[in-house]
Amino acid sequence: MTIWREGETKRVILSCKGDSNGSPSKRKVVYVYSPQYTETCDSLSKVPNRASMVHSLIEAYGLLQHMSVVKPRVATIEEMAKFHTDAYLEHLHKISQDGDNDDPQSGDFGLGYDCPVVEGIYDYAAAVGGATLTAAQCLLDKRGEVAINWAGGWHHAKKDEASGFCYVNDAVLGILKLREKYERVLYVDVDLHHGDGVEDAFSFTSKVMTVSLHKFSPGFFPGTGDLCDTGMGKGRWYAVNVPLDDGIKDDRYFHVFTSVMQEVKALFNPEAVVMQLGADTMAGDPMCSFNMTPVGVAQCLCHVLDWHLPTLLLGGGGYNLANTARCWTYLTGAVLRQTLASEIPDHEFFTEYGPDYSLEISPSCRPDRNETKQLDKLIVTKCIAEHVINSLLLSCLSHCVYVNDVIRS
């Protein structure tokens, strides 16, 4: 990958490797979009108008002409019921119609503070689920090698409850769709938060491996994803969690990521990949945790794309809306091997990118707490020192993954 550096011509040059000879080749990319879908996603109160900001910036950079733009369909209740329970979907549909915030059953389904009841929420869930299913189907039909739904990636929702701003787990639906053709599907999650909903969904199977790099500290949502969380039953050793501390930057993150993923690729040998690329890891995000830039995330993405497998790309978190649009536009450019100007083009949301009006995100002065951990305190407990996870963890422990000084017998 080649990137823009300070002092050079202000162009952001993004590319993943080309063919086996190293020359760039055109990658078939599907981009799921419609005005109606974007309008529906804009209604989500936690990220208002984010979908429009992302799409408008991608369009302003002229990237749409390099992709196949596919109109998403709406998921049926039967399709969503392949993961979610009938009771949850029926309740979501009921309260969506009457907007009843006082229904006593809502709390049983996780609807409340972080997943408020709003009118039309079922239609939103069906739209997001349908868009990810549309993208996955395009991969199955070989309409593209990569399919993108930046408005998807809601990885916390469980079978029978909403969680963490997520009303539908479209990532799980996408994986299930890909499993109709591919025996082994790999899920990679680089959101700030642990992808607990997806891990839980496949914790008992060896057909789907989940890998999550995330912040892990006491009191931080969702409170799961410790080093020793490795799956259960037939799925034991098929969940990989890389818990990180605040302040991690691009270079260290990429080093850990590649150390883990090269082992995952060799041992699991996936046939397809779903990658969740939440942008709440960015410097300047209100979460105030990681200190990443789009460059580091693009490096991780290109590492996976260079496997040349059918790959479904999803969004996720990202609460600084301008930085989220910067990040996902940057990543879209990387997928397409396009050169992007550093200066934000004039478009509908141009004023949101002040005061510098640049595509670049600079890291803050936040200290990297991962560097302060004493590496000699890293331990591999008995419960993880075997089979797949042993190989995965030994390759990354020396970099910065740690267990919080608790020895588990």
Annotated binding residues for a divalent metal cation, written as ranges, equal 191, 193, 280
Find, among 258, 202, 221, the residue nearest to 399 by Cα: 258
Report the greatest alpha carbon distance in the chain: 62
**85: number of Cβ within 10 Å:** 15
By DSSP bridging, strand 11-13 and strand 339-341 are: antiparallel
Edge-first strand order for the sheet with 146-149 is 68-70, 29-32, 146-149, 311-314, 272-276, 185-189, 208-215, 239-244
Annotated active-site residue in 84, 156, 303, 399? 156
Find, among 146, 137, 393, the residue nearest to 277 by Cα: 146
**271: number of Cβ within 10 Å:** 15
* Binding residue numbers for substrate: 114, 164, 319
Residue 156 known to be catalytic: yes
C-beta separation of 34 from 72 below 8 A: yes
Secondary structure element (H or E) that encloses residue 305, with its range? helix 294-305
* Binding residue numbers: 114, 164, 191, 193, 280, 319
**199: number of Cβ within 10 Å:** 26
Q: How far apart are CA 90 and CA 328, in angstroms?
A: 33
Active-site residues: which are they?
156
